[in-house]
Amino acid sequence: MGRWLLVCSLCAVPLAAHSVIETYEFSDLHLERRYHSLSDELRCPKCQNQTIADSNAPIAKDLRFLLHEQLESGASDDEILSFMVARYGEFVRYRPGLDSNTALLWYGPLLLTLVTLAALAVHLRGRHKAIAPADPTEAEREALRAQLAKNSGEQERQS
């Protein structure tokens, strides 16, 4: 029984030894830092929720190689990002730039918060009005006085 459990648990362990990790030689430490920064900024077009630094997809490997080549050839970060966006679309960036296509993405949370606060204010204001009693009319006051007089008369008789 113990061997069977050991075999089953070993089958459940992922075989990470088959994953390929490429290393690149950089001419400058600053370029290597830029490489890591940009590879964390770019999204894998195939995986969609991983950066090219995290993905093992073949296209992510190609993008890392392309990124290395562009950095070594002297391209700026903006040039590299512009190239990637031109080739793969704005989706390739985890933090897309602000334009007419991404305005809702940038301002949507703020807009949603403002709408929620406005709805809450309207709800609370309506609730406050519903809870606050209206002033009694003169006829209602007379009826209350008569009822109090009647009740106090009954209490005196009982005593």
Contact 53, 40 (CB under 8 A): yes
CATH of domain 2-92: 1.10.8.640
Q: What is the pLDDT of residues 85-130, one digit of tens each?
A: 899 888 888 877 777 777 887 888 999 999 999 999 998 887 766 6
Window from 33-42, 56-65, 98-107 with minimum mean pLDDT: 98-107
Which pLDDT does position 5 carry in this prediction?
Answer: 58
- Is the pLDDT score of 35 beyond 70? yes
Highest average pLDDT, of 46-50, 95-99, 130-134, comes from 46-50
For residue 73, give the 3-state DSSP assignment.
coil
- Give dist(CA 30, CA 38) in Å, integer: 12
Beta bridge partners of 42: 93
The pLDDT value given to residue 120: 93
Tokens of 145: 């006085």
* Mean of the per-residue pLDDT values of the chain: 81
- What pLDDT is attached to residue 17? 41
The reported pLDDT for the residue numbered 93 is 86
| CATH 1.10.8.640 domain position(s) in the chain | 2-92
The residue among 48 and 32 whose pLDDT is bigger is 32
In the chain, what are the helix, strand and coil shares in percent, each to the nearest 5?
Answer: 65, 5, 30
> For residue 34, which of 62, 83, 70 has the smallest C-alpha distance?
70
The pLDDT of residue 67: 93
Distances, alpha carbon 141 to alpha carbons 124, 137, 146, 148, in Å: 30, 6, 9, 10
Decide if pLDDT at 15 tops 50.
no
